[in-house]
Structure 1
Amino acid sequence: MRMNEGVEWAAHVCVLLHWLEEEQAEPVPVPVARLAEVYDLPAPYLVKQVQALTRAGITESVPGKRGGVRLARPADRITLMDVVAAIEGPDDAFACTEIRRRGLSEGRPAREFAQPCGIAHAMRGAELAWRRELAATSILDLAEATPRRIAADVRRHFARA
């Protein structure tokens, strides 16, 4: 399965925002251009990913001179599946087109195709397992799995501004 690289970018943004908010009483919004510079990403493209996160209720946009973006809910309540769905959309990765009804099988009675074929069944099972795994992984899990020195480096970078 291949995903848009925006999924990776969006997940990293969520982790970074968590690190910046982790030690603050009130989350401070961060301009997307500043987020982009941390990872040396093109800001206009990252803006599109953050907009998708905002539409999905993962981040929220704060307007104004000191505006930017921040997490809309705690990192332990945002899953990797939430991020993937925000960027990739909710559609299944595999779409059965019922190719088995074509060619030699064209014209066969519909009752012969009442059950999904083995391919569709296997693909659906794999997708459900994949979605369950992503849904079981939170942004907090990802942040905690990253060496603390990286989070500290990020905080120092933003403190200099």
Structure 2
Amino acid sequence: MQMSQGVEWALHTCLNLSWLPPDQAVPTGKLAAFYELPAAYLNKQLQALVRAGILSSQPGPRGGFRLARAPEDITLLDVVLAIEGPDEAFVCNQILRHGPGGRPEVDYRQTCLLARGMRRADIAWRRELAAQTLAEIREDVERHFPETPRNTRARFAGQ
């Protein structure tokens, strides 16, 4: 499974916004310029984060995006689901119905051992992402790269 690049962009954008004062909104153009991303495509990701309640947007000349919730209340899973959607990675198309001994009345999505194994793996992956908050990632970054918050604030102030 491969996630879209929008997930990476959204995660980094949320992390960068976490170092700014809560009342500071940053326009899409500045957020895109930070990593030399296409603003129109990044804006699609930001709008998905707004719909999910992760970011809020403010129109106008002093408008832009900011975190809608505290970093402690945003998980990596929240961001992934906002960008990728809630569907499971594996889709059981019930091919066992068409194999030897297959029966049309059986729901193989429930009885297929391969589908069950894939579902368990998907749940474990989601549980791991749900266990990590933006605040925890931010703390790790600050521990390993202590200049990052200051540099991020300065970059947004200088653009």
Q: Give the 3 Å change call, closer, same or farther, for CA 111–100 of structure 1 in structure 2.
A: closer
Matches within 5 A, 1:9-20: 9-20=9-20
Maintained 8 Å contact 2:57/2:63: yes
Q: Which has the higher relative contact order, 1 or 2, with Cα contacts under 8 A spaced 6 or more apart?
A: 1
Stretch deviating more after TM superposition (147-156 or 86-95): 147-156
5+ residue gaps, structure 1, are none
Q: Structure 1 CA distance, aligned partners of 2:107 and 2:133? A: 43
The alignment's C-alpha RMSD in Å is 1.8
Report the equivalent of 1:157: 155
Calculate percent identity across the aligned residue pairs: 51
What amino acid does structure 2 have at the position aligned with 1:156?
Answer: A
* 1:12-65 Cα shifts (integer Å, max 9, x gaps): 0100000113xxxx4211001101111111111100000000011100000111
Tell me, in whole angstroms, the C-alpha distance in 2 between the residues paired with 1:56 and 1:133. 20
- TM normalised by structure 2 equals 0.91
1:50 matches 2:46 = yes
CA distance in 2, matches of 1:112, 1:93: 19
2:116 to 113, 117, 121: 121
- Specify the SS of the correspondent of 1:20: coil
Residue of structure 2 equivalent to 1:148:
146
- Report how far residue 114 of structure 1 moved: 8.6
Q: Give the alignment's TM-score, normalised by structure 1.
A: 0.90
Q: Deviations over 1:94-115 (max 9, x none)?
A: 1111111113234x37469595
Match of 2:147, SS?
helix
Superposition pairs for residues 97-108 of structure 1, below 5 Å?
97-106=93-102, 108=103
Task: String of CA shifts for 1:88-145, please: whole Å, max 9, x gaps.
Answer: 0111111111111113234x37469595211101100000000000001111111111
Q: How many residues align?
A: 156
C-alpha spacing 1:49/1:116, structure 2 compared with 1 (3 Å) = same
Distance 2:10 2:104 in 1: 47
- Counterparts of 1:70-85 in structure 2, within 5 Å, are 70-85=66-81
